Chains A and B, each alone.
Chain A
Amino acid sequence: MREIEYSEVVKAVKDMIMYSGTDLPQDTYDALKQAMEDEKSPVSKEVIRQILENADIAKDEKRPLCQDTGLAVFFVKVGDQVKIKGGLLKDAINEGTEQGYTEGYLRASTCEPFSRANLKDTVGYNLPAIIHFDLVAGDKIDIEYAAKGGGSENVSRARVFPPAAGKEGIIAYVKEVISDAGGNPCPPITIGVGIGGTFEKATISSKHALFRDIGSVNPDPEMAELEETILNEVNKLGIGAMGMGGTKTALAVHIESNPCHIASLPVSVNVQCHSSRHTHITL
């Protein structure tokens, strides 16, 4: 049994949050650069230019990429041969989250659902983090982190279709969700689609799909083809960067598909804004 110090996890999580807050991942940066070249609308082209300039400023001056520094979302794979020394893994992730948001001068956006009161104050508290645990074989802990902002999350949807809906139904549904969203989720976006499983499995899959690098190819050729079809269809909507009209509404569509019940076809769509802040580490 391998032991990892509680404090090591706290530090790793804090570093991930601070880094993600200011440094746009290279895959996203490259995809935006390509989108700026391909975009036909001059207004949208200028918006993407501002987005890239913003990323340069944020990285160079260590300023938050966006004022909505999101809720902290983690996907954690815990090896069955690893033990945290000195506390619970969940507590360490939450402690690292609080430290990262405080020391990075990131906005705490967590509030009580009805009074809308901030649970502490404007900085230093963004708890609890949203953590999805998975138990796997091995002696490592694998942590994927994303800062999820409100604008893109608010347009996400899930629906359970009858099996007859098939691929055509899924394509039409994603188009409907993105068309209704318009410029609100800060396009150019990445679209995560979770298919199958149960209602909640599809939803979690649609979020996890957003962690895949833009430009990577789905290992399932059938899903790779469906991703390309949906991407083309969405880009025909004309929404463009920040909804100002254009040809590059989405940078990528990522699908995660799961086996499901014979009676159901659950589908979930989760949207990621252009400020795709995420990091992946293994301890």
Chain B
Amino acid sequence: MATYNLTTPLSSEDTKMLKAGDTVFLSGTIFTARDAAHKRLVELIEKGEELPFDLEGSVIYFVGPTPPKPGDPIGSAGPTTSYRMDSYSPTMLKHGSKGMIGKGKRNQEVKDACVAYDGIYFGATGGAGALLGKQIKSAEVIAYPELGPEAVRKLEVEKFPVTVINDTYGNDLYQMGREQYEVKD
């Protein structure tokens, strides 16, 4: 298991280098979107309309932050459970997105889409909202402000700590880790 520092947007060269279990410190721009925002983004893609940001090489963070305290760019911002985005993620990957950050397992369609389109599913530590929020240097709502915590935000991050869960080779850290430590009677 290796450690990498990567800057967004990510290329296929970047993602193909990564393996399940690797640690990555991400820097650059990432975009937030949760359930309601994904529904709208995928509808735009299907209608062939322009998205509020460039999907190519993008990393999408599944997060609904707390309101910022005065003077802070963002509040606490840990990952939300990812399976709710399973029906949308393959479309996002097919159209150029290269990475997702969340927590919890993904379905086979998402894993297959990671293999097909050189995508990576990264896990961040769930609940570590105060720690992860500190790695976000600026935040700007760029679409759907009416969705509140579910609005699409453009974030600038520095050394945001994530772990590779699903890589471009079909590996799944959740399965691998569990098989390694499971005690069978």
A54 touches B128 (CB 8 A): yes
With beta carbons under 8 angstroms apart, the residue of B126, B165, B176 that contacts A186 is: B126
Q: Do A242 and B81 contact each other (CB < 8 Å), given the known contacts A57-B131, A66-B129, A184-B103?
A: no
How distant is B111 from chain A, measured CB to nearest CB, in Å?
14
> Which A residues lie at the B interface, using CB under 8 A?
40-41, 43-44, 47, 50-51, 53-54, 57-58, 61, 63-69, 105-109, 116, 118, 121-123, 149-151, 154, 182-184, 186, 236-240, 242-247, 273-275
B125 with A273: CB separation less than 8 A: no
Q: Are A246 and B177 in contact (CB under 8 A)?
A: yes
Inter-chain contacts of A122 with B (CB < 8 A): 67, 148-149
Interface membership of B159, Cβ < 8 A: no
The complex places the Cα of A149 from the Cα of B68 at a distance, in Å, of 19
Minimum distance in angstroms from B172 CB to a CB of chain A? 10
Closest to A120 in B: B148
The 4 closest A-B pairs by CB, nearest first: A245-B177, A238-B182, A238-B181, A122-B148
CB contacts between A and B, total, < 8 Å = 173
- B127, A150: Cβ atoms under 8 Å? no
Inter-chain CA distance A210–B69, complex, in Å, is 30
Tell whether B75 is near chain A: CB-to-CB under 8 Å: yes
B129 neighbours in A (Cβ, 8 Å)? 54, 58, 63-68
Residue of A nearest to B35 (CB): A116
Contact indicator per residue, chain B 148-161, by CB within 8 Å of chain A (1) or not (0): 11000000000001
Contact of A244 with B148 at beta-carbon distance under 8 Å, contacts A54-B129, A63-B75, A184-B104 already known = no
Count chain B CB atoms within 10 A of each CB in A66, A150, A239 and give the residue with the most. A66
Q: CB of B119 within 8 A of chain A?
A: no
* Chain A CB within 10 Å, residue with most, of B21, B75, B77: B75
Q: Which of B35, B69, B105, B174 gathers most chain A CB within 10 Å?
A: B174
A244's partner among B128, B149, B163 (CB-CB below 8 A) is: B163
Q: A67 contacts which of B21, B75, B165, B179 (Cβ < 8 Å)?
A: B75
Residue numbers in B under 8 Å from A67 (CB-CB):
63-66, 75-78, 80, 129, 133, 149
Evaluate contact between A274 and B127: CB separation under 8 angstroms.
yes
Q: List 14 A-B contacts (CB under 8 A).
A: A44-B177, A66-B126, A67-B76, A69-B66, A107-B65, A122-B67, A122-B148, A238-B182, A242-B123, A242-B126, A243-B105, A244-B177, A245-B178, A273-B126
